[in-house]
Amino acid sequence: MKLLTRYQTRMAMPGEDEETLARLKVVCWREAYPGLLPQPLLDKLDAQREETVWSDALGRGIAWMAEQAGVPVGFGHMEGAEVTTLYIRKEDHGQGVGAALLTHLFDEISCLGRREAFLWVLEKNAKARGFYERMGGRLVARRPVGFARHPEIMEVRYDFMLD
């Protein structure tokens, strides 16, 4: 893993960071998913609606954020043994940000006494899948994402052993 020198990581704070997480998720989805998810779905993303989702998510799990000079560039969230979310702005890919955030999330999961973690990723997201494989993920399952209008969109599960 590259040493983060330009980036700082911190835990997201309930009651403070929901808006930031919501805006960043919309940006990251629009950068990462053209061609992988239907464009109308990406066009309908709404940061204000996502803010409510993040308010609930921070009440059930833990999120870590990465910033560069105080500007949010990525985040990840875990709940139980699942990494539910990991997104990095496209311009910050390849800098070690994703690996640092995933490591923080794995540490949180380990603190719960878990020896394994897992996550789901779009089956056709080759770049993300390669990253998770390099991070030690083992492909174990496949299922539909759950979009009623798009049952053909699949996701795959990666399991990770935690030390």
Q: Is the pLDDT of residue 163 over 90?
A: no
What domains are there in the chain, each with its CATH number? 8-115 (3.40.630.30)
Give which of 72, 106, 109 is closest to 88, Cα–Cα. Answer: 72
Q: Is the pLDDT of residue 2 over 80?
A: no
Confidence class for position 155, pLDDT limits 50, 70, 90: very high
> Model-level pTM?
0.93
Q: Mean of the pLDDT values across residues 130-154?
A: 95
12-50: pLDDT as tens digits: 999 999 999 999 999 999 999 999 999 999 999 999 999
Laid out side by side, the sheet with 62-68 consists of 8-11, 62-68, 71-79, 82-88, 116-122, 154-161, 138-144
